[in-house]
Structure 1
Amino acid sequence: MSRCLARGCRFGASILIALLTLATSALAGPARIASINMCTDQLLLALADPAQIAGLGPYASDPRLSWSAAEALRYPRLSGEAEDLLMLRPDLVLAGRYGKRTTRDLLRAKAVPVAEFDVPRSIDDVKSQIRRASDLIGHPERADALIAKIDAALSRTRAAASRPHDRVLTVSRRGWIAGSDSLTSSLLAAAGLSNAAAELGLPHGGFAALETIVASKPDLILIAEADPAAEDQGQALLLHPAIQRAYPPGKRLVIAEQLTMCGGPMLPAALDRLTAALQRVRP
């Protein structure tokens, strides 16, 4: 009888170990995760174990677009099409809601799990996406750490904010204006600023003519480069004499585009850069 009891104990211990292993595996999240969107690329890089990252999207390693470009060089580059993803056979694919829909539909038809992420329009949206991504990836504690960094940067920005309600117009290539319902607006609001795009009727962004930009007379403009080069007509707009006269260096906030295109690990740097830019133009 003692032998049976011993065997029973050993069997019970084996079952317990197996259950604990399964539970640990579940908590660790999917073993192989791919991303086909530049913003989800950066969430994956910030929240996953290196061994979990099976591949990243086509723009992940482009330093002009991605804040995490250098880190992305360590991982396979995917085309964003379904074919290479099906060959890769990941356990999960992270994608943008406005990416190529046929790719996502084909992946789902082949039973590949796909998690879609929308464009964040506020700092709170970014925090929610970080929590969702970290839960999907299997490391919820990493969301807490990243959100704590964002909150710390927010506190620094709010402490440094002065002259509230200055109007800012964000101007990019060819006169693209960041909309009033955007992450950029949320960043500006954290610093006590307002997005002048609301006055132009551009809640979701859009192109504005040179004359409209000048006539809107914001207190400041936000651009991606301090000294943009006239590489093409789109970039040359920022060098037009009318822009130069209306918005000299003292009326320009400069924040690299990589910091405002997505929401995620770059957000603390974006807030700190905005704070520093305001201190330069409003000493």
Structure 2
Amino acid sequence: MFLAGAAFAAPAFAAEDAVPQRIVSINLCTDQILLSLGLGARLVAVSDLADDQDISSMWQAAQIVPTTPAALESVVSLSPDMVFAGAFGHARLTAQLEKLGIRVVRIADAARLADIAQTYTEVAAYAGAAETAKNIAARLEALLAKPSAPRTMSALLVSPGMLVHGPQMLGGAVLAHAGYVNMQGAYGDTTYVTLEQLVTAPPARLFIAEQVDAAPSRSGRLFAHPALSGAVDVERVPPSALLCGSIETVRLAAQLAQEVSAQ
């Protein structure tokens, strides 16, 4: 099991270890990585969340790959020789698969932007796509090479339900890379924020994790409240970039850093 934020080491394989030919993913975050590696027919199925446009950054690529629920019968029927899962969750299913002799690889989500490229490298080492991951990692490292200089402009990133992305979350890491001061601490030791708190201490910029073309959520409509109108610069960002550490996460961080630098 890999630990988020910990130092990574490429998995060591014995010489007789064969490149897997029937790979299945039952985790949204491993879906994103495997769909990026160009595995072709070797990727026989991804999770049934992979083609959801609201939460999957690789939903278009997932249209041509079968999906599977995280259920024993469904997964076994695909005759996989390797199953990718998250570090947590689906514990019963992964244990059952291992009892059947199916190799399960558990991958923890990247907690920091700097860990994302290495997570691609880890997955690719197991999946037999090291060269592709090397190219992806180089692109990601180039995007992160020029973070914005720290600024005094405050910002807050909120998901539907008024969940605030703190410094230990991917959204908080994106704000820090862009050079923003995360306003979470201004509202006390809480992971949620209220309209009243925003009115009392509004950030200079408010990012909402919702699709640009999506119908506004209840929390999204709150941000259009007259009390906030004109006081806060509101921008939507794709929620799929914040659920899993992915190429889209790094692109978002680089985009916001560029915007801040241009101000």
**TM-score when normalising by structure 2:** 0.83
CA contact (8 A) 2:157 2:172 kept: no
Question: How much has 1:162 moved relative to structure 2?
Answer: 5.2
Question: How much has 1:58 moved relative to structure 2?
Answer: 0.9
Question: How much has 1:163 moved relative to structure 2?
Answer: 6.0
Return closer, same or farther for 1:277/1:38 CA change in 2, 3 Å cut-off: farther
Q: What is the aligned-residue identity percentage?
A: 26
Give 1:224's match in structure 2, choosing from 209, 229, 240.
209
Deviations 1:55-106 (A, max 9, x none): 0101111111111111111111111222201111211111123333222222
1:88 and 1:220 map into 2 onto residues whose CA distance is 47
Deviations 1:97-117 (A, max 9, x none): 333322222222222221222
Please identify which structure carries the higher helix content: 1
Q: What SS does the aligned partner of 1:244 have?
A: coil
| Structure 1 partner of 2:245 | 263
2:195 matched to 1:210?
Answer: yes
Question: How much has 1:135 moved relative to structure 2?
Answer: 0.8
Question: How much has 1:199 moved relative to structure 2?
Answer: 4.0
Deviations 1:195-233 (A, max 9, x none): 22244455xx83222222333432221123557634x53
| Structure 2 partner of 1:148 | 138
Q: How does 1:173-184 map to 2 (within 5 A)?
A: 173-184=160-171
1:228 and 1:54 map into 2 onto residues whose CA distance is 31
Return closer, same or farther for 1:131/1:201 CA change in 2, 3 Å cut-off: farther
CA contact (8 A) 1:134 1:140 kept: yes
2:226 and 2:257 map into 1 onto residues whose CA distance is 28
Q: What SS does the aligned partner of 1:169 have?
A: strand
Return closer, same or farther for 1:83/1:212 CA change in 2, 3 Å cut-off: farther
| Structure 2 partner of 1:8 | none
User: Any stretches of 5+ residues in structure 2 without a counterpart?
Assistant: 1-13
Question: How much has 1:245 moved relative to structure 2?
Answer: 4.3
Greater mean deviation of Cα atoms: 134-143 or 269-278: 269-278
2:41 matched to 1:51?
Answer: yes
CA contact (8 A) 1:228 1:235 kept: no
Q: How does 1:1-283 map to 2 (within 5 A)?
A: 26=17, 29-156=19-146, 158=147, 161=148, 164-200=151-187, 206-225=191-210, 229-230=215-216, 233-247=218-232, 251-275=233-257, 277-278=259-260, 283=263
Dislocated runs of 4+, deviation >4 Å: 225-228
CA contact (8 A) 1:175 1:237 kept: no
CA contact (8 A) 1:228 1:238 kept: no
2:220 and 2:244 map into 1 onto residues whose CA distance is 21
Q: What SS does the aligned partner of 1:67 have?
A: coil
CA contact (8 A) 2:159 2:208 kept: yes
Q: What SS does the aligned partner of 1:69 have?
A: coil
Question: How much has 1:190 moved relative to structure 2?
Answer: 1.8
1:244 and 1:238 map into 2 onto residues whose CA distance is 8
Give the letter for the 1:59 counterpart.
Answer: L
2:81 and 2:167 map into 1 onto residues whose CA distance is 37
Point out which structure has higher relative CO (alpha carbons under 8 A, 6+ apart): 2
CA contact (8 A) 1:174 1:234 kept: yes
Return closer, same or farther for 1:90/1:181 CA change in 2, 3 Å cut-off: same
| Structure 1 partner of 2:3 | none
